[in-house]
Structure 1
Amino acid sequence: MQNIPKVRKHGNGYIILAPTEAAKSANTIKAQRGTKPKSLCKTSEQVRKEAENAAQKDGRPNPDRFTLLGFNELQVGQYQGQTFHWLAESDISYAAYLVNQMELEGGNTGDNFMNHNKQQLKVKKSFISL
């Protein structure tokens, strides 16, 4: 996994907003299981530890903050369980939608696991250069 997600672009340089085949497949699986979430949200500590373990398995024993955020798993939504990095590469339009929804919520930073995960996604977004 590279630090910067590979953003797919058309020949004219415009970003391809359509989801990849992998993202479409993930949506099909979600549709089959219905609206019930795959699992409950993990604690921010669990997400961090799992991200550190995944980074080490990927050959990054001392990842920087940006790289570590790429390994964070989404805790809610249609791509629950996928990493932030995967989302940026596979369905950039949904990533933009999530960030926009968070901004519309007015920065709700309540002390729960889902809100912490949302804030981490906003931080990751700020590092992605298109």
Structure 2
Amino acid sequence: MTATASEDDDSYQVCGDRIRLVSAALQLGARIRIPPSREDDSFGRVFIRICAITFSPGNEQEDLDELHAVLDSFFQIFDTSDPASHEVINDMREVYLTLSGNDSNEDVYLSDGVWLSFDGKLHDRGR
């Protein structure tokens, strides 16, 4: 799940820059060594799990403290990173290789209309 869908009644709007949002999430996953993965939903549709964080029973406060640190890191990346920079594109090429699963050079669907191409560029094709 991502934070890219506004409320149907327009009571609030969420992030309009899906490319920056997905790029920051992928960069965060790389920093904390949680790679994205290809998975199937309950209907057998392929989706990309960008990053997952779980809580351990009995460690709620420690997990919450760690989550706050992770969220701080995410927003630092989101606020300062340029998804079109050479460094980020190189990182996204690595992500593409992890997720593509074949040599066809076809774009990989990530989430919420955002696709990753073999050259490491992210494209927002809408939902």
Give TM-score, length-normalised by structure 2.
0.31
TM-score scaled to structure 1, two decimals? 0.30
Query: Which is helix-richer, 1 or 2?
Result: 1
> Which structure: larger Rg?
2
Q: Which has the higher contact order (CA 8 A, sep 6+)?
A: 1
- Structure (1/2) with the larger strand percentage: 2
